[in-house]
Every structure is written in structure tokens, then in C-alpha cells.
Amino acid sequence: MASGRGVCLRSFLRGLERLSAPAGEGLGPGLTAGGQLVGSGGEERRTRRCAAAGRGSVSGTELSSLEETMQEPAFLETNSLSLLESLPSEILVKILSFLDVSSLLRVAEVNKLFHQLANDDGIWFRVYTSAFSCRMWPLAQWSASCWKKRFFRTVANHHFHWWRKELKAVNAYTGLPQQTEHVLRSMTVSWELRLRDRNGRERRHRQSRAVFTKTALILRWSGAGLPRYPTISSLQLHAVHTGAQYTLGHTIPGWSSLLLDLDVGSAPSQILGKDRLVVLRSLPHGVVVGTWRGDNKVAFIMVSLHFHRLVEKSFMGSPSCPYSEPVTPRLTDRLDPEVGLRGYALHFVLHDANTDIMLRYFRHLSSCPSRILDGLVELSAVSSTATPLHTSLSGGVRMLWRSCCLDGSVENCCFMTLTLLDGFQEPFWCESAPVCIQQVLDEQSDYVGDHFLMDHRSAHGQLRMKLVWLKDQRQFFLIGLDVYISVLKVNKHFGTTY
């Protein structure tokens, strides 16, 4: 219906343009001043313009000059706006009352007059009552000049209560809501990457692909339009709400929530790996930049987002400020000398953009005050001597990539997603980031093969994983996994003083 109203409005404005046209000029693309019907092709239009100029024939150069000087008026140019502004406000308000919410917001950006008319309280009263007819009678005593605000507040509350209800069911192993993917897909969220160069120019890119794993979301941008890596000054990631339905047949325009704001120039970067075509760079907050070898032009950008609070970050942030997670210290037994050091559980996944390489769950992880070194609390999930816990990986460690019609894989790097739960089985440390493994010398192991180490560090802690490559079986074996969490994070969460 919105598109039909837009066609009617354009037809109405074109009719006003024809009425205001001087005598002797064309009255439209298919009608001359004498009433003769002509086509809309280029030759007939040129003939009509030449006849209006009083000449029989002109050369090609003169035709081009006439085309430049006798362009037909575009929709909503200055003369059209002047004609519209001369109409009574009552008529303009009546016309605008047939538009939907998205069109009203766009019309309000034309000029001051249309901004005032598009915010008319009577229009928004009709918008509200048509969208929420079941709620209009209890609200009949509201004061004037508030229906637009009430409309958007009602829509926001409707969405908020809906997805909060959907996120109540929690996975027993991850401590995360089970319906995160369902909510994000139902609310039609898309992901926009905004790249700013050193001259201040900004380019916006919608994601080429979004892949949901068990505990993370992998986003990818590729194709033409990506700049050279050295020219990128900053990188922003926004969740864009493209228009959820608030009632049958009606949608609201999108808004964006800032998820990530990264200063690429000053951010630390690490070379993850390379193949014959691309070089992978790892940036903070789970960002991977793939550049073509030889010219440093960006081939693709991938971002890994953990599911923890992802829905809140996508809807409760603003375009300039990300969502801030509330900090609620735990009420614990202060008489326990080892509070905050026991009862942890770890859900750990190694994966690429398509499949899981390894998925393990460890519970009853504990530490003690003597294992607090250099500001880190050590939690051992798999030790080198615990042979029964050693396990093989389902495939090789590699990161798959794709850009336009080319694809490939970079060995010895992938994505890591960890979810560490506290003694109350609630998320304590959640992170998803690209990692790489490097070959090391380890003579103390009982395994014969090439040994590899994965060492990931962040502000919240550190994770070390030991692997051995068994040539006969042609696969990796996990022989060690240790988690180190920040003492400051433990003290802040549990109110301790370690």
C-alpha cells in the first residue's frame, strides 16, 4: 500500500508541474503543447525541443547543447517544492496522512516546512491508532503533541518484551540463550561495516555473508569497493535493524547500534598466516583482514562476535555509543577462603567459518591461592599428564576464506570461541577471536610428532593450548589446555581481594 501511495503522490506532483508549465513548452514526456501524442524516445524528444526552439534541424553538437540547457525538471526540484509550499497546510497534511512511517520520516528531512508538517500530532495520532487500535482507548487522556513519541516508545517496548521473553531459555552447557539466532533473524538485523580513510571519507558495506555457529556469529564482507589496507583509518561495525513488523503489514525504519569502533592505525595487528593469494591479519575484537598479496588491497574482512549479550548489543546501543553491560557483583560467602577460585566450567570451540574443528566441555575447574601468579588465576582443563583427556581434532586447523569468485584456506589458523562459566553457571568470560598455532620444541611430551602451541591473550585473561601433529594418523591431538583469568576480574566479580 505504501508503494501505491507513493505513485499517487508522484502523479499528483507531476500534474501540478504540467499546470505550471509556460505556454508552448512540453506538458510531459508524451504530450506536446498542441495536444499531439509523441513517444518518450530520444529522437522524438529532440524533435519536439527543436520545434519549440523555432528551428527545423540542428547538428549533433547543437543537439547536445540543447539537451544540456533544456533538461526536463526532476521530481521535487526547486520549482516543484515552491508550488507545493504554496498549497494550504491542510491539503499537505491530508496528503502526508496517506504515507507510512518510513515515508513520513524521509519527508521530514526535505525542509523546515515539511519537517513541521510530517510531525503533525494529528497524523501521528492516526498512525498510532491504526497500528495499535487495541490500545487507543486507555490512552485517550494523553496530552497533545505526544503521539509520535508514544508510538516509538510502544514499538520499542513491544520489541523489548518480545525478545526478552524469547531469550529466557538458557543452554545448560554454554549458559547462553538458546534463541539468539532466532531473535536476530526474526528482527531482520543486518550488519554494516563503515570504513573511514585517512582523508575522512567514509564507505559503508553490508555483509556478504553471516554464519551462525553454536556460540558465535561470523560475518564477512568481500567484493569490489574495499580499499587498500594502509589507507584505512578507522573501522566501525553497526547492527542495523532493517524494519521489524509492529503490526500486520506495517514496518518501522531501521536504526543502528554501534558494536565495534576500532582505530586501525593505532590498533595492534598480527599476521595470522598466508597462502598463495592472501595474507591474513588479526586485529583486536575478533577482526580478520585479508589482503591480496602484492598490492595490499583488502580482499575481505571477517568479524567474529560471541553470542553473549549480542542481542542487547544489537538493539540497546546507539549509532555513536555501544551498549554497556551492567556489572553486578556476586553475593558470596565471605567466610570461604577460596571463593571465586572453584566451580568453573569451560565451553571451548575451535572452528572456521563453516564447521567445528573441535568442541569440548570441561566442568569442575578449580584453582587455589598458590596458583595465582603474575596477576592471573590458573585453571587447568587438560594437563599433559592426563592422557585420558587427550583427544583428536576432527580436521586440520585452517581458516577458509572467499572473495568474489576466488576462495582458499590458510593453514594453522582458525577461530576460537570460549565461554567460561562461574560457580553459578553464568557467563564469566566470553570471547571469540581468530587464533593461530605455531610449531614449538617440546621434548617432555610422550608423543612423537611436531608440537604446536596456541597462545591467546586479552584484557580478561589468557588461553594456552598444546597440540601435537601425528604423522601416521595425519591429525592433531590436544594434549594441553590451560585458562588464565585476570585477578582483577575475579576480585571485581566476587568482591574478593586476591
* pLDDT on residue 36: 38
Residue in 389, 379, 385 with CA at minimum distance from that of residue 358: 389
- Give the three cell numbers for residue 379: 585453571
- Measured in residues, the chain has a length of 498
How would you write the pLDDT of the chain (498 residues) with one tens digit per residue? 444 555 555 655 665 555 555 544 443 444 333 333 344 444 444 444 444 444 444 444 443 443 444 444 444 445 555 677 778 888 888 888 888 777 787 788 788 888 888 888 888 888 888 777 655 444 444 555 577 777 777 776 677 777 888 899 999 999 999 999 999 988 888 899 999 999 889 999 988 899 999 999 999 999 888 999 999 999 999 998 765 444 434 444 557 889 999 999 889 899 999 999 999 999 999 999 999 998 889 999 999 999 999 999 988 888 888 888 877 767 666 667 788 898 999 999 999 888 899 999 999 999 998 889 999 999 999 988 888 888 888 878 999 999 888 899 999 999 999 999 998 889 999 999 999 999 998 667 778 888 999 999 999 999 999 999 988 888 899 999 999 999 999 988 888 888
304 and 217 Cβ atoms separated by less than 8 Å: yes
Helix (H, G, I), strand (E, B) or coil at 18: helix
Alpha-carbon distance of 416 to 426, in angstroms, equals 20
* pLDDT on residue 227: 92
Q: How many CB atoms lie within 10 A of CB 325?
A: 11
| 2 CB-contact burial (10 Å; exposed 0-12 / middle 13-18 / buried 19+) | middle
* pLDDT on residue 175: 93
* pLDDT on residue 226: 92
* pLDDT on residue 72: 44
C-alpha dist (Å) from residue 430 to 244, 310, 421 = 29, 11, 9
Residue in 493, 429, 494, 436 with CA at minimum distance from that of residue 462: 429
Q: Which residues of 179-188 are buried (b: 16+ CB within 10 A; e: fewer)?
A: bbbebbeebe
CB-based contacts of 278, cutoff 8 Å, min separation 6: 290, 291, 292, 293, 299, 300, 401, 403, 408, 410
